[in-house]
Amino acid sequence: MSYLTGYYAIREIVAMNFLIYIESIDKSVFLNINQNIINPFFDIFFPSLRELTYVFWILLIIYFFIRKERKLALLMVIGISAGAAFIYPVKYFIDRARPYDQIESTRLLTSPESDPSFPSGHAELSFLTSTVVSKFHPEYSKYLYTFSSLIALSRVYVGVHFPMDIVGGVIIGIIIGRLILVLEQRKGYIWKEKI
């Protein structure tokens, strides 16, 4: 019985040390991006991506709707809604503080966010919609993923996310995007009639 207890204790210590190690790397990479890659153009451009992210994806939904690609527009709306419904409970469950709340020297180039840090909603939204749109329009793929990567980088640069927040958002976004596409292939799960 005591051997089993000892095993679990050692396992917990190793797991905690691993998490502490990952968090120290996360903070180190954050500081390198936030404080060492300083560029006057980025200082202006990256903060603007906060709102431009939402504007871009809304305009893209409208664009596809006008072009009679209503199925794609609907999939984007469903994906964005599903992503938000999933990510916000995760944020509040994990409740990770923002970088500017943990690191006093953070360069904060935008107004503070009101929700927790992990995972990044901007990264999740962008990679989810890029995944969905790229399935229908592979010719847009490199542009969408480049734009999404810029958005992700900008969230660290402006001081509102750690890199692991971004990684979490990207992974969640791609998974939800792919799930939406799987459901789309089965058609009946999302709609009964052809749009």
Both structure tokens of 93? 């469950």
The answer to pTM > 0.75 is: yes
Flag whether pLDDT at 191 surpasses 90. Answer: no
The pLDDT value given to residue 189:
53
The pLDDT, as a whole number, for residue 193 is: 46
For residue 99, pLDDT over 90 is answered with yes
pLDDT digits (tens, 9 = 90+) for 165-188: 999 999 999 999 999 999 888 875
| Closest CA relative to residue 161, chosen from 93, 91, 80 | 91
Helix axes 70-94, 40-66, angle to 10 degrees: 130
Q: Is 116 left (phi over 0), alpha (psi -120 to 50) or beta?
A: beta
Domain ranges in the chain are 2-185
Encode pLDDT of 37-46 as tens digits: 889 999 999 9
- The predicted pLDDT at position 118 comes to 92
